Amino acid sequence: MKHEREIGLAATKLRPPVLPDRLVSRPRLDQILDTAIDNNVRLVLASAAAGSGKTTFLAARLAERPDAVSWLQVEASDSDPGRFWLYLIESIGQVHPRIVAEVKPIVVGSNADELVVVPELINKLSQLGETFVVVIDDYHLIESAAVHRGVERLIELCPEQVSIVLSTRFDPPFRLGRLRVRNQMVEIRGADLRFEPGEAGGLLGRAAQTLDSGQVAKICGRTEGWAAGLVLAGLSLEQVEDQGEFLDAFHGDDQLVVDYLSDEFLGGINDDDRRILLETSILDQMNGALVDQVTGSTGGAPWLRRTAKANQLLLGLDSTGTWFRYHHLLRDLLRVEAHQEFPELIPELHARAAEWFESQKDFGQAIEHRLAADQRDEAARLMLVYGPGLLSNGQIETLWRLLERLGDVARKYGWCTLLYGWCEYIAGNYSLAEEWLDTTLAVVSDGFDEDVTAGLRMNIALGRGNVAEALEIARRLTASGRLVSHTSDIATVAGGVYTLAGLTDEARVTLTISIEKAVDEEARASQILALIYLAIATFEDGTKADAQEAATLVLDTAQDVGLGSYYRLAPAFAIRARTDSDPDRAHADALHAVDLARRSPGDLILAHVLTMCADTLIDLGDAAGEPLLVEARSVVDRCSDPGIVGRYLVRTESRHHVAVDDVRADVLVEQLTEREMAVLRYLPTPMSQRDIAAELYVSLNTVKTHCGAIYRKLAVSDRKSAVQAARDLNLL
């Protein structure tokens, strides 16, 4: 499927494992699970040690039930919130494809914000008319607090007909006590999963045929009913000559695994099988072609099927008998043995695997194996095609982790340094992001298209509150005529720059381009952000009714595309509050806008929303308004060029007598001289008055005199207001 390839989805993660030939019926466990699902319990928690049989039991029983079931096999890399939610939604989409189409863009557009994703997913699940079971296997591999918060919220709010089943080695960091008290949770623990003597025969395999009931009970006692221990005991019993002696020495604890694999299992198979087992232990999943590639042999597919039939610790992952994986216990011990036996060969094995995955265009797996082979330059090369996809799909943690693993090699390649810059920008580290941009320009070759960096540069400038710097880039893009050839996100930020600079005509032209491209690209977040900037522009130069209509369009569209909880909607709520005639609605919208704005990136939008909501609340007689105005002032004061935000703040302060500065008129009091115009052009820059004096070869006092004249003629009292006033009058 196309969307699987786009994000490197492994289809085998999205279905339960193939059930073993010797499946053991366990009615007492079946009843626990059946009762939980039939009673619409929100969470079934199967929490027990490795090798206890959790996955097999759940897969077997759910296969027999009539309910629709989705299955996600978690891997350690799924701790990235963007990756986790995309996988979970994709797994649900195996049963209900419509949910993928409707919710996946929301994950991407919101950067996997659980406050946005979970409510929308719950809304879609609530529309299902049948019982639905969502299984998340190996949940203990998730380490992200954001993912934990989201899954706990999903469990607490999931509709009645949906049950969440978590299979894990240890309890997740949820407030399980609340679920227990409310009878919304059923637990399946290690004690429940222990095999009783009457059930153990199925795991002991052919060896059970030669054992009496007392011997089976003895094995169960030694293993404490541990499924993996019983499987290993059965494999050993098939090879030993004296079963009684083996049973006397058999312990069945974790040490059994180490001893068995090194002394019994690996020592009792032929050399070819042993070599294949050890060499393929570097793989998390494998098919016949991949086995052949890694081992340099043929016959991988029949070898996998033959080995899986004889050994329950090689698990089938699909119904066609194509994909397999080792049980985690077996895989880990095989890897230890391989590193002890031929450490020098391990990098070569990973390199072979990387070549195969690259040929299949599974660049994520290819990069992992390149890194494991210490082929970091090759891994960096693949980041050119893989990294942008991670960025656009919101998998920032995965992208950052890969870049850090590249180490110094990342500094050699422009696409890697640019990706690093985006990661730092998203984290709010603007100075570090700019350093990576400078590194990018230093390492790229001649002919590099600097437009590729424009989006990041404008975002950094706006993040720092420097409209002038961002405006210079936006104007250069527009003048080149190439804005339409880039993706919608660049046009959106350029349109935002024009909006915040008060150039509303240019903003409308650019944002119209952005919206058209965003609709074609199905880039919903970019579409909503462009509509937000249009609403701000309308608030600036349109009527009150027009501004309210523009804000309502933003919020309605966001609701339609599933981004109704998007934190960047703050300006739309603020504008609706400021233009609403209903005081109760206006008050609620203003408070909500402030909450959202505090989660939005950058100072400019925060200050704008704080100012607008303060304006609204003060008019409504709410004492919370004035502190917001004070906060807005503190934010604007740290911006070098706040654009229209600074002007709006000054006017609002004056209107509410928070500040006494006069509000300028939108006309020149007096024309600026040529010398004053020369000084004016430097005011949007970070240069001090002393720096400007040196640049113009005049004295500092001369520059101070010119600045005073500029402020007087523009009817403003400070440098930032002068910049925006000059911009409004087309002097800059």
Residues 363-396 pLDDT 10s: 999 999 999 999 999 999 999 999 988 888 888 8
CATH of the domain at 434: 1.25.40.10
Regarding whether 607 and 634 lie in a shared domain, the answer is: yes
Mean pLDDT of 502-513: 94
Q: C-alpha distances in angstroms, 456 versus 111, 319, 433, 448, 452?
A: 16, 46, 8, 16, 8
pLDDT of residue 166: 96
Residue 544 forms part of a structural domain:
yes
Domain C-terminal end among 268, 296, 321: 268
390-440: pLDDT as tens digits: 888 888 899 999 999 999 999 999 999 999 999 999 888 889 999 999 999
Q: Which parts of 581-646 are beta strand (E)?
A: none
pLDDT band at 348 (very low <50, low <70, confident <90, very high): very high
Lowest-confidence segment of 222-236, 292-306, 502-516, 718-732 by average pLDDT: 222-236
Q: What is the CA radius of gyration of the chain?
A: 32
CA angle 410, 455, 500 (to 5 degrees): 145
- Domain holding 507, by residue range, is 451-655
Mean pLDDT of 33-53: 89
108-122: pLDDT as tens digits: 878 888 888 999 899
Residue 286 forms part of a structural domain:
no
Regarding whether 150 and 222 lie in a shared domain, the answer is: no
pLDDT of residue 615: 95
- Do 196 and 32 meet the contact criterion of CB atoms below 8 Å apart? no
**Spatial CB neighbours of 507, under 8 Å, sequence gap ≥ 6:** 495, 496, 498, 499, 533, 534, 537
Side chain identity, residue 174: F
Regarding whether 85 and 132 lie in a shared domain, the answer is: yes
Residue 283 forms part of a structural domain:
no
Residue 666 has pLDDT above 60, yes or no: no
pLDDT band at 251 (very low <50, low <70, confident <90, very high): low
Domain C-terminal end among 219, 237, 268: 268
How many folded domains does the chain comprise? 5
Domain C-terminal end among 409, 442, 475: 442
Query: What pTM, to 2 d.p., does this model score?
Result: 0.75
Regarding whether 203 and 176 lie in a shared domain, the answer is: no
pLDDT of residue 663: 47
Residue 718 forms part of a structural domain:
yes
pLDDT of residue 6: 39
Residue 22 forms part of a structural domain:
yes
pLDDT of residue 2: 35
Residue 314 forms part of a structural domain:
no
What is the 8-class DSSP label of residue 673? P
201-219: pLDDT as tens digits: 767 767 667 777 777 777 7
Regarding whether 73 and 176 lie in a shared domain, the answer is: yes
pLDDT of residue 111: 81
Residue 107 has pLDDT above 50, yes or no: yes
CATH of the domain at 122: 3.40.50.300
Regarding whether 507 and 467 lie in a shared domain, the answer is: yes
pLDDT of residue 225: 67
Per the rule left: phi > 0, alpha: psi between -120 and 50, beta: everything else, 115 is: alpha
- Do 662 and 650 meet the contact criterion of CB atoms below 8 Å apart? no
Regarding whether 211 and 64 lie in a shared domain, the answer is: no
pLDDT band at 474 (very low <50, low <70, confident <90, very high): very high
pLDDT of residue 216: 75
Among residues 476, 517, 472, 510, which one has the least CA distance to residue 493?
A: 510
Regarding whether 649 and 601 lie in a shared domain, the answer is: yes
For 526, the enclosing helix (H) or strand (E) is helix 524-541
Q: Which parts of 52-105 are beta strand (E)?
A: 68-73
Regarding whether 168 and 28 lie in a shared domain, the answer is: yes
pLDDT of residue 239: 67
Give the separation between CA 61 and CA 43, rounded to whole angstroms: 16
Most confident among 94-108, 214-228, 278-292 (mean pLDDT): 278-292
- Do 608 and 645 meet the contact criterion of CB atoms below 8 Å apart? yes
Regarding whether 422 and 359 lie in a shared domain, the answer is: yes
Regarding whether 179 and 77 lie in a shared domain, the answer is: yes
Residue 13 forms part of a structural domain:
yes
Regarding whether 519 and 424 lie in a shared domain, the answer is: no
Residue 574 forms part of a structural domain:
yes
Residue 631 has pLDDT above 50, yes or no: yes
Mean pLDDT of 653-663: 69
* Mean of per-residue pLDDT scores for the chain: 86
668-706: pLDDT as tens digits: 666 777 788 888 888 888 888 888 888 888 788 888 888
pLDDT of residue 537: 95
CATH of the domain at 715: 1.10.10.10
CA angle 136, 140, 144 (to 5 degrees): 95
pLDDT of residue 8: 41
